[in-house]
């Protein structure tokens, strides 16, 4: 996969990879968001072609997009949908990756809320049921 990393870096895009899951990201200014989307789209098209030559496939239906920035900066970005390989991808405020929920402002509030909702609360008995502990 070193070849793939080199291909991605040629576009000025960074990458994290976990088994069969990849994250592609790049830094940009508010004034350059449209150019960043275009750069990322071109990179993903080249990745799709690279994978295709190796009889692998990139699944656009599983792609997620998100802006990561402060609330003030987020309000200045007008792009709410990006076109990636003929697929329209909505820009999300939260995404799940490897079981962790990330939000566009990089707080952990949504992740903590999801974790708390998934906890099972066990009833606690004030005294053990009779017959559970023999009396000596």
Measured between alpha carbons, how far is 88 from 90 in angstroms, rounded to an integer? 7
Global pTM reads: 0.69
3 state DSSP class of 95: strand
DSSP state of 101: E
Q: Mean pLDDT highest for which of 16-20, 33-37, 78-82, 131-135?
A: 33-37
Which segments of the chain does DSSP mark as H helices, in order?
2-10, 33-53, 71-76, 109-118
Res 136: pLDDT: 55
Residues 105-134 have a mean pLDDT of 62
Average per-residue pLDDT in the chain? 79
3 state DSSP class of 21: strand
Res 30: pLDDT: 85
Do residues 67 and 36 make contact, with C-beta atoms less than 8 angstroms apart?
A: no
| Percent above pLDDT 70 for the chain | 83
Residues 27-54 have a mean pLDDT of 89
pLDDT at 123 > cutoff 70 = no
Measured between alpha carbons, how far is 110 from 83 in angstroms, rounded to an integer? 27
Residues 92-121 have a mean pLDDT of 72
pLDDT at 42 > cutoff 80 = yes
């Amino acid at each position: 996969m070193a070849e793939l990393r080199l291909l991605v870096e040629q576009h000025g895009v960074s990458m994290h990879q976990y088994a069969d899951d990849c994250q592609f990201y790049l830094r940009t200014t508010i004034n350059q968001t449209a150019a960043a989307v275009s750069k990322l789209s071109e990179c993903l098209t080249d990745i799709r072609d690279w994978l295709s030559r190796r009889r692998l496939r990139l699944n656009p239906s599983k792609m997620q997009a998100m802006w990561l920035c402060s609330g003030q900066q987020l309000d200045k970005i007008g792009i709410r949908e990006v076109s990636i390989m003929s697929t329209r991808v909505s820009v999300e405020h939260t995404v799940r990756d490897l079981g962790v929920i990330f939000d566009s402002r990089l707080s952990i509030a949504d992740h903590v809320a999801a974790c708390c909702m998934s906890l099972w609360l066990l009833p606690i008995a004030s005294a053990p049921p009779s017959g559970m502990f023999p009396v000596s």
